A and B are shown apart, each in its own frame.
Chain A
Amino acid sequence: MMDLIGNLGLGLSAALTPYNILFCFVGTLLGTLVGVLPGIGPTATIAMLLPITLSLSPETSLIMLAGIYYGAQYGGSTTAILINLPGESSSAVTALDGYQMARQGRAGPALAAAALSSFFAGTIATVVVAALAPPLTSIALKFGSPEYFGLMVLGLAASIVLARGSVLKTIAMVSMGLVFGLVGTDINTGAMRFTLGRPELADGLNFVAVAVGLFGIAEILRNLETTIERTAVISRVAGLWPSRADFKAMIGPACRGTLLGSALGVLPGGGAILASFASYALEKKISKTPERFGNGAIEGVAGPEAANNAGAQTSFIPMLTLGVPANPVMALMIGAMIIQGIVPGPQVATEQPVLFWGLIASMWIGNLLLVILNLPLIGLWVKLLTVPYTVLFPAILAFASIGVYSVNSNTFDLYVMAAFGVFGYALSKLDFEPAPMLLGFVLGPLLEEHLRRAMTISHGDVSVFFTRPISAGLLTVALIVLIVAFLPNIARRRKQIFVEED
């Protein structure tokens, strides 16, 4: 307990420099700014803004990224509530009741409920992260290559199950991501792989360029298909503060949502999305008046928002302790760390405690800033929704181009970004989901490295993965997860869930 307080104190003192707070603030602001745009979810937002952070010191840049993440999440909820256009599946649940509240003239309380329950969940989840991270780190230090391999396979398997659409196609996307991740110099032998003779590819495909192309550019192209209709609901946001009755209705769902989110967020593969669905279903089930759900029940906003934010927070746990990303957003975070010269993994906590605890503390600061920033500025975000997309997307493209270039001052990366933009857009038209591919891309080199090492240790005997209890357990779970995804009635239900959110 004393350790926990001491560690959080260290983190707070690291994060609470005026400089870091400034960038955390700018991050939340920019994150909200981009995240509030219809159709752009947190992953795309972070991908677009990631390059801007790279010129900062590692601590500040990760703190800013965390700010961007929370801002983007909240921006997505705002759009979901005000114009019923959720940017990512996790805020799709918020749109169900949030938009109905907005239509009944209760947009203010809906937005406040989202902000306050997110903040509540964020505060609790920060403590959960701080409490769980050190013990998990010490377990992780005992992990050998077979265990890491098992863990990554489990993460990829989970991302396959949670992706929408065909399981086969998603497996193909993960494999494609893995193989793209291997482009460049092989670390063991120094051999060039898939570089097509281009010296620029010797260090591999630039992660930022790939991410910005796959998500940013492809997203812009999707948005240019139609002129987005903007509904009139947004003109009236009056009476921000929830009533006393609203508060009473919010507390229970927010607490249960926080619990669900904290638990599910730790799971690899996108637990936060699962958490908001689960929370909505739970609240509807235990409500005395389930018929109000879907017609503007404030519980249907507070619960999922809390679950989502808590899950977003605790999904940092596998990344911080094991260096294994739980979802595409964490994959982006890891990408940023690697560019900054930090090797993600359990050693970060011991070797760079200031960075580690600073990041955890900044999660809470980011959440606090969000409440301070968003409640008074809601009028501004509403206005932003009326700024034409024709002005916004050239700006986003210019930022992204400058940002991608600034990573290595390499013009080749810009061509990679354009190519992956077209590729990502084509893939989405063929019903391939890009998110699992990005996860594969980040994990490719790591997965190969641990596979090779494990096989060398075991003298080429594959059974090493099944004789060590932890890796056997992880791989068994991964296998079960995949088999479940192929079961016909689960497949049907997955389809239903994802149709509902569209």
Chain B
Amino acid sequence: MDIKNVAASGTLLAIGIGFGISSVFTMDVGSALRMGPGYFPLILSIVITVIGIAIGIKALRDTEVFHPQIAPLRALAAVIIAPILFGLTVRGLGFVPAVALTSLSAATAATGQRPLVVLAITLGITVFCLGVFYYGLGLPVRLIGPWLGV
């Protein structure tokens, strides 16, 4: 079995079938003359699904080792959480704390950093972003948000 392409096939099947079902059941497919909202997505879903099946059949027959190099879990989590954290806090806490939290999260992604260095990076980025985006580009944001009682 070729694990990598089994996974690839699975991804395609999930997306193809998911979008396909949604096109058929939640929208009007219509006809070639009067294409409904579901017509074009349905065609694309079928293409994706068929390719998924083709790759899957071949992958099940092949034998292939799959040892992908993957970023450390800590880095993965820290990088993904950074923008989410920004989204969760920018309204409530305000721009400055949100940027600080985002850079803090991102800076902890790399292993073997001393806490002081992480803090220095965070501080530097926050000050820089404040200068560039707020004072420089005039981004309409609240610096400190309502959650902090301001």
Query: Which residue numbers of A lie inside 8 Å of B, CB to CB?
Result: 52, 55, 166, 168-169, 171-172, 175-176, 178-179, 182, 186, 188-189, 191, 193-194, 217, 220-222, 224-226, 389-391, 393-395, 397-402, 404-406, 409, 411-415, 417-418, 421-422, 425-427, 429-432, 447-448, 451-452, 455-456, 459-460, 462
In the bound complex, CA of A398 to CA of B83 (Å): 8
Chain B residues with CB under 8 A of A224: 71-72, 75-76, 79, 109-110
Interface centre among A179, A400, A425 (most CB of B within 10 A): A179
In the bound complex, CA of A224 to CA of B69 (Å): 11
CB-based contact B47/A172 at 8 Å: yes
Partner of A460, one of B4, B31, B106: B31
Partner of A194, one of B4, B19, B110: B19
In the bound complex, CA of A381 to CA of B113 (Å): 25
Partner of B87, one of A189, A411, A429: A411
Let me know if B60 is at the binding interface, CB within 8 A. Answer: no
CB-based contact B12/A395 at 8 Å: no
CB-based contact B11/A430 at 8 Å: yes
* CB 8 Å contact bits of B50-94 with A (1 = contact, 0 = none): 011011000000000000111110011001111110111011000
Query: Which residue numbers of B lie inside 8 Å of A, CB to CB?
Result: 4-5, 7-8, 11-12, 15, 19, 22-23, 26-28, 31-38, 40-41, 44-45, 47-48, 51-52, 54-55, 68-72, 75-76, 79-84, 86-88, 90-91, 99, 102-103, 106-107, 109-110, 113, 121-122, 124-126, 128-129, 133, 137-140
Interface majority SS on B: helix, strand, loop or mixed? helix
In the bound complex, CA of A168 to CA of B58 (Å): 12
List of 8 A-B pairs having minimum Cβ-Cβ separation, nearest first: A460-B33, A414-B87, A394-B106, A186-B37, A411-B87, A401-B86, A390-B110, A430-B8
How far, in Å, is B57 (CB) from chain A's closest CB?
A: 12
In the bound complex, CA of A422 to CA of B83 (Å): 12
CB-based contact B80/A395 at 8 Å: no
CB-based contact A225/B106 at 8 Å: no
In the bound complex, CA of A399 to CA of B130 (Å): 11
Q: Known contacts A168-B51, A191-B37, A431-B8; is A402 also within 8 Å of B79 by CB?
A: no
CB-based contact A189/B84 at 8 Å: no
Q: Which residue of A lies closest to B87 (CB)?
A: A414
Q: Which residue of B lies closest to A178 (CB)?
A: B44
CB-based contact A414/B84 at 8 Å: yes
CB-based contact A221/B79 at 8 Å: yes
CB-based contact B80/A422 at 8 Å: yes
Chain A residues with CB under 8 A of B68: 429
Chain B residues with CB under 8 A of A397: 79, 82-83, 102-103, 106
In the bound complex, CA of A166 to CA of B102 (Å): 37
Q: Which residue of B lies closest to A459 (CB)?
A: B33
Chain A residues with CB under 8 A of B40: 178, 182, 447-448, 451-452
CB-based contact B33/A401 at 8 Å: no
CB-based contact A189/B110 at 8 Å: no
CB-based contact A225/B82 at 8 Å: no
Residue pairs across A and B with Cβ atoms less than 8 A apart, 15 shown, are A169-B55, A172-B48, A221-B71, A224-B72, A390-B121, A391-B121, A402-B129, A405-B87, A413-B87, A414-B86, A418-B80, A421-B80, A429-B70, A456-B34, A460-B33
In the bound complex, CA of A450 to CA of B87 (Å): 36
Chain A residues with CB under 8 A of B31: 460
In the bound complex, CA of A178 to CA of B23 (Å): 14
